[in-house]
Amino acid sequence: QAGRVVVVGGGFGGATTAKYLKRHDPAIAVTLVEPAERFYTCPFSNLHLAGLRDFAAIGHGFDELRALGVEVIHDLADDVDGTAQRVRLAGGAELAYDRLVLSPGIDMRWDSIEGYDASAAGKVPHAWKAGAQTRLLRRQLEEMEDGGVFVLAAPPNPFRCPPGPYERASLVANYFKRAKPRSKVLILDAKNGFSKQGLFAAGWKELYGGMIEWVGQSDDGRVIRVDAERREVETEFGNIHRADVLNVVPAQKAGLIAERAGVTDSSGWVPVKPETFESRVVPGIHVVGDATVAAPMPKSGFSASAQGKVVAAVIAAMLNGRTPPQPAWTNTCYSLLSPDYGISVAGHYRLVDGEIAEVPDAGGLSPADADSAFRRAEARYAVGWYEAITQDVWG
Ligand code: FAD
């Protein structure tokens, strides 16, 4: 036996790491801990909100990982003892490891907006983890009367999926245009700018006229209080906005188990050594995905999976007494403004002086002056990307 690896989290980062560990070396004993029997992806959940994709079509199971020899345990990791190298599960079991991989994604900072806590999210969803929250928001959009206002409170940096709120606003507008054409989308933003902003703004004008309004932080966009009963929000300078459907995406931090393992810093995220994604604080624990500080890589499913592949190669080398390979990572984030209108941002990353750096001229944004055939092609590539990555990660 080459060694024992426990992976916590069966999302983009964790499932990729578990699968690629087995591909590198089938002799490594790999255990994946993930409570959900099916993982529902945030990517393409905005299409479900717009009534353009069945919920079942964004769900993925773990049979292929099992077929590769990964032991999949559906439980929650409750605590980590980094000194004894053991993980305790909520069900009571304890798992020993030589190397631990955490890919727990995000948790909400429930203290960041007055009145917005886990129970308020049961009425006013964030839908920033896919599952019951996504279905709740879809139901509310379906039940809304024509002429209503959808208010989306967008979070401060750094957060999961920088273009995500703006793709959501686009696809909700797409649904409104088809089903409730007198309705409006209002984005109240805690920031003064966002990913692919110029491309989004131009696309919104072309596709939706004045249906989508964006208010940045300095124009009083930052939401500081939520009244979930009344579906009202208050912004920094005291304005009140009433919504017919309210979607609050609060500030975020690394998933709780990272804190329990002692690998987070005061920012709430996990600092890692870029060459191995091993914690800077606790040896033997690698962390990938949204939970990490990996800028300039964005917090995306593509990034999480790319990091997972690197960590699998690193751990397979370490457990076999080889020098880990030099890493490189790639990311592309597609956003759909409608089912036929896609835009993208791509980046390629390498180590420069021990830090992650974007390789100049190796990525970039969709052109601003592209014609509709180009936007249609990028929308097709987005679907191809989704099919390819979900096949790669879950089979
Ligand atoms: P996740 O994929 O969330 O996986 C974390 C897993 O860990 C979860 O399954 C959770 O159940 C499990 N877990 C947590 N704690 C524990 C514990 N204690 N014990 C056991 N298991 C645990 N990215 C893209 O690349 N492209 C896109 O088009 C895109 N679109 C998006 C759209 C939206 C609306 C949103 C919200 C996000 C989007 N993303 C997109 C971002 C993407 O979803 C995340 O970046 C990605 O899921 C991060 O992967 P991860 O492995 O870090 O976390």
Query: 287 — phi, psi (to 5°)?
Result: -130, 135
Task: Give the whole-angstrom CA distance, residue 13 versus residue 11.
Answer: 6
- Residue whose CB lies within 8 A of the most ligand 1 atoms, among 48, 300, 311, for a mutation test: 300
DSSP string of 69-89, one letter each residue: T-EEE-S-EEEEETTTTEEEE
Quick one: pLDDT at residue 236? 97
Reading the block at residue 212, the tokens are 């989508």
> Nearest C-alpha to atom 25 of ligand 1 is from which residue?
301
Task: Give the whole-angstrom CA distance, residue 309 versus residue 291.
Answer: 16
Partner residues linked to 2 by β-bridges: none
- Decide: 305 and 392 in contact? Cβ < 8 Å: yes
- Decide: 52 and 45 in contact? Cβ < 8 Å: no
Task: Give the whole-angstrom CA distance, residue 370 versus residue 379.
Answer: 13
ipTM above 0.90, yes or no: yes
DSSP reduced 3-state for 221:
coil
Query: Closest ligand 1 atom, CA of 331?
Result: 25
Q: Per-residue pLDDT for 1 more than 80?
A: no
Pocket of ligand 1 (CB under 6 A): 8-14, 33-36, 39, 42-43, 45-46, 76-77, 103-105, 128, 160-161, 164, 168, 255, 257, 289-291, 299-302, 304, 333-334
* Confidence label for 266 from pLDDT (cuts 50, 70 and 90): very high
Give the ranges where 53-194 is alpha helix by DSSP (H): 63-67, 132-143, 164-179
Task: Give the whole-angstrom CA distance, residue 215 versus residue 298.
Answer: 23
* Confidence label for 302 from pLDDT (cuts 50, 70 and 90): very high
DSSP reduced 3-state for 383:
helix
Number of residues in the chain = 395
pLDDT digits (tens, 9 = 90+) for 314-323: 999 999 999 9
Q: Per-residue pLDDT for 70 more than 90?
A: yes
Partner residues linked to 107 by β-bridges: 253
pLDDT digits (tens, 9 = 90+) for 198-227: 999 999 999 999 999 999 999 999 999 999
pLDDT digits (tens, 9 = 90+) for 336-363: 999 999 999 999 999 999 999 999 999 9
DSSP reduced 3-state for 280:
coil
Place of tokens 């999480």: 304
DSSP reduced 3-state for 274:
coil
From edge to edge, which strands make up the β-sheet containing 245-248?
A: 212-215, 184-189, 149-154, 245-248
> Nearest C-alpha to atom 12 of ligand 1 is from which residue?
9
Task: Give the whole-angstrom CA distance, residue 354 versus residue 275.
Answer: 7
Question: Helix 372-394 to helix 12-24 angle, to the nearest 10 degrees?
Answer: 60
Count Cα atoms within 13 angstroms, Cβ side, for 283: 4
DSSP reduced 3-state for 38:
coil
Task: Give the whole-angstrom CA distance, residue 136 versus residue 146.
Answer: 18
Task: Give the whole-angstrom CA distance, residue 141 versus residue 72.
Answer: 36
Whole-number Å distance, alpha carbon 373 to ligand 1 midpoint, is 31
Residues 6+ apart with CB under 8 A from 111: none
